[in-house]
Structure 1
Amino acid sequence: MLGAANGANVNEGTFMRVASLGSGSRGNATLVEWSDGALLIDCGFSVKETSARLQRLGKSGSDLTAILVTHEHADHIKGVAALARRFDLPVYMTPGTFHSRDLGKLPALHLIEAYQSFTLGGLTVEPVAVPHDAREPAQFIFSCAGLRLGVLTDLGTVSPHVEDRYQNCDALVLEANHDPMMLAGGPYPPSLKSRVGGPWGHLSNQQAAGFLARIDRSRLQYLVIAHISQKNNSLERARETLLPVTADIPEVIYACQDEGFGWLSLAPESNPAELSA
């Protein structure tokens, strides 16, 4: 199930909305828009492919305020530098992520020091440290007009810090990367299986379900299950594992590699079904 129709207009009274250009091992990018700007979290696609996927959502690179980078793996950072140069965009990332790759000259680089929160045009961005096999990875929580949007992928363990920070979100994009049995019997070499399923790799369906069971979901309008492996997971297994902890969530969306998910609009005291129409 995809979200709102691609390119849909922002509903009157909407303060924040989120969409995805694609989610998976072949490329990731998440788009967050609010009343005063729009930012792209990661860019794992070429500039040409990114532009085409933005157009599908009714946007272009010239509409962006900034690019945020979670970490240096190619499926997240491949197109960041080229897109930033093409559209003269500032880039935000941790020092570890920046020093892990030669990105060439960037129009404007803002280093996220010690995971300190910052603001962009009325949007508060909270970086969160996560256990992942990268130099200094970060995931993000966005706050605007009393709303909280959490983006949480690419981590092998839900640490107490992560669990504490991601309480009380109005929308959550959460990784459910693999099914352990499919990973064990899948085509990956043993070293890669160990990495993906290890404490610095990616969350399994069961880990995602456990996390959801432990957090306060009472405000959750939308849950997006993301970064689903095409080789080590299936929608059927993910849904079956997550169903006991998602039945009370108004709308659950499963992101895909080719289409990501369409616009999901957040607003206080709103009916999510109306907002995504």
Structure 2
Amino acid sequence: MNLCSIASGSSGNCTFVGSEHTKLLVDAGISGKKIENGLNSIDVSPQDIQGILITHEHADHIQGLGVLARRYHTPIYGTAETINSILRMNSIGRISDELLHYVVPDETFRINDITVEPFSTSHDASNPVCYTFQADGHKIGMATDLGKYDDYIISKLTESEILLLEANHDVNMLMVGGYPYYLKQRILGDRGHLSNENSARLICRLFHEKLKYITLAHLSKENNYEELAYETVRVELNQYTQDKSLESILSVAKRDMVSEMLSVI
């Protein structure tokens, strides 16, 4: 199985997940053209994408959805509440009913050889989810846009060999920054976003010997930067495992660039 971040951050998110027989996208939060260029750069044809799995209806996760779905007749997956919210948005345009597939949190389904499990997340959206993917005995886990984590989230992501996890903000940067008070409270709340510190703690809870890659994702442009997110998690992980060599499995997804392709075989 493979994972590659096409774009990641508060301004737009799109991730490729694939196996030998299946090619999927999680979210389409940048322009259709940028998604096409990103896929072409990893030798994936946009017309070969067999599904776009949507986490929730915020603009940084669906901006290019309508264009891709219409151009390539690509199936769309999401909770009923998420899809209905998307269909009410004029910016997305008309999407054919035959492309819409409703998912239910905690109910697995298959797309070719990949078993997908949606699971609920704590975010200020209409029944948002994230996803895990399993094929050929391997597991990929993804979780962004969650204001908190708990034993439920941990149970869904456990035993993932590739983890893509939110590290949205540094609390100190957020508190002294220029955001209005209400927005700071939203981000810090239980239905907001995961801080670097909480991301690090979650990763320690999920660590196991077969964990091969950790990618930090959905960084805020105003309240975080790559080196700070990386260092916060690195220090926590080193203290937890007492193994500094584990730094090699940690990376940060690029905001406006395609990141490295990660593979488990």
How many residues end up aligned between the 2 structures? 252
- Asked if structure 2 preserves the Cα contact closer than 8 Å seen for 1:130 and 1:159, the reply is no
Q: Which has the higher contact order (CA 8 A, sep 6+)?
A: 1
- Asked if structure 2 preserves the Cα contact closer than 8 Å seen for 1:44 and 1:75, the reply is yes
Matched ranges for 1:127-166 at <5 A: 127-166=118-157
Q: Given the alignment, which residue of 157, 166, 170 partners 2:161? A: 170
Question: Match for residue 191 of structure 2?
Answer: 200
- Asked if structure 1 preserves the Cα contact closer than 8 Å seen for 2:40 and 2:46, the reply is no
Extract unaligned runs of 5+ from structure 1.
1-15, 268-277
Partner Cα separation in structure 2 for residue 58 and residue 154 of structure 1:
29
Q: Aligned-pair distance for 1:254?
A: 0.8
Query: Root-mean-square deviation (CA), in Å?
Result: 1.4
Extract unaligned runs of 5+ from structure 2.
239-243
Question: Match for residue 8 of structure 1?
Answer: none
Q: Given the alignment, which residue of 242, 245, 251 partners 2:237? A: 245
Are 1:50 and 2:48 matched, yes or no?
no
Question: Match for residue 82 of structure 1?
Answer: 67
- TM-score of the two chains, using structure 1 as the length reference: 0.87
Partner Cα separation in structure 2 for residue 205 and residue 245 of structure 1:
12
Q: Given the alignment, which residue of 189, 198, 217 partners 1:226? A: 217
- SS state of the match for residue 262, structure 1? coil
Question: Match for residue 37 of structure 1?
Answer: 22
Matched ranges for 1:105-120 at <5 A: 105-106=95-96, 107-120=98-111
Partner Cα separation in structure 2 for residue 226 and residue 260 of structure 1:
12
Higher share in helix = 2
Judged with a 3 Å threshold, the aligned counterparts in structure 2 of structure 1 residues 234 and 73 are, in CA distance, closer, same or farther, namely same
- SS state of the match for residue 128, structure 1? strand
Q: Which moved more, 1:131-140 or 1:191-200?
A: 191-200
Q: Deviations over 1:81-140 (max 9, x none)?
A: 220110011111001101113252235111003441100111000101010110110100
Partner Cα separation in structure 2 for residue 174 and residue 145 of structure 1:
22
Paired residue type of 2:157: Y
Question: Match for residue 55 of structure 2?
Answer: 70
- Asked if structure 1 preserves the Cα contact closer than 8 Å seen for 2:105 and 2:119, the reply is no
Question: Match for residue 4 of structure 1?
Answer: none
Are 1:259 and 2:257 matched, yes or no?
yes
Question: Match for residue 116 of structure 2?
Answer: 125
Q: Which runs of 4+ in 1 moved over 6 A?
A: none
Are 1:21 and 2:6 matched, yes or no?
yes
- TM-score of the two chains, using structure 2 as the length reference: 0.91
